[in-house]
Amino acid sequence: MHAELGRWSPRLLSLAMVVVLGMTDAVSTLAQDGAGTRSAGEVPAEIERILEMDRILGKKRNLICEHASAATAVRAYLIGLDAIDFRPCPKEFVAAFRAHHNAWESSIPFLQIHDSLRGEMHDLFDKIRQLNDEQRTQLDKHVREITETWTMVEKASANPQEPIPAKQTEPARIKETEIRQIFARYAQFDDSLVDMLADEFQFQDVTTNLKASKKDEILAMFKSYRKSITDYRIDVYSILFIAPRVVDVQGRISGKLRGKPFETLFSTALIFDANNRIKSWTDHVNPNTFGD
């Protein structure tokens, strides 16, 4: 669900678009290939695939800060990490990466204090250090934790303590036609869309922190939309499978909000359960034409 349009403040390009941009077919192939044999001292293939995904996500994270807050960039980066399948990897590597994930996550409250700063992440960090000694000390503490946990990841990558398990068979992914059906129903604010939601469904918008977890809340949202939005249209431009049941949908929405025309890009991250019902819907929208 796209957030209540009238509540949005102007934002820049969809963060999910920026994060997923660059996760090309080559990276998708990395995630899908089976584990091969390796020589002594060589990084296992399954681990190298994850390290490559992290390199791509990390590069995008650092650039997002040029257009959005560092806290928002880190949240987007963590969403990307959460979509990676770690099951084929040794427990030691998974534990190290979880520690690294947590180190980044723990930096968010501090970074939120500096939401107005912009710049490539390293440049933005330099700006924070120049503010005063206290801010520099706090930032360096988080950077140290992030660096130390990444050293743990590198150590676990080069010296896995258990063999790489055989590749597991992935469940069949949801079909593109089914995803387009979801957005066709949404474009009509069709109440039957709730039948496609899992019981543990969660909706969130990462920039406004708008959340919903009950089907009744979605029905109420649709009722409100039918009163305030007319000529609503959703054009889906692309559907990117990050994993068999994790999908990023990009496109454009347009219509009239209380009589005022609007048009903007969107990116929606969907996570499906084993029954192909939606258990997570995360929206990213660029509503620059709405105003407050």
- DSSP class of 87: T
Q: In this predicted structure, what is the pLDDT of residue 168? A: 54
Enter the pTM of the model: 0.52
**What would the pLDDT profile of 108-126 be if each residue is shown by its tens digit?**
999 999 999 999 999 999 9
| CB-CB neighbours of 52 under 10 Å | 14
Distance of CA 189 to the CA centre of its chain: 24
Q: In this predicted structure, what is the pLDDT of residue 163? A: 59
Strand 278-285, strand 197-205: pairing: parallel
CB 93 within 8 Å of CB 44: no
Q: In this predicted structure, what is the pLDDT of residue 121? A: 93
Q: In this predicted structure, what is the pLDDT of residue 161? A: 64
Spatial separation of the C-alpha atoms in residues 230 and 216, rounded to whole Å: 22
Low-confidence spans in the chain with pLDDT less than 50? 3-41, 289-290, 292
Q: What tokens does 65 get?
A: 């800060």
Q: In this predicted structure, what is the pLDDT of residue 206? A: 60
Q: In this predicted structure, what is the pLDDT of residue 117? A: 93
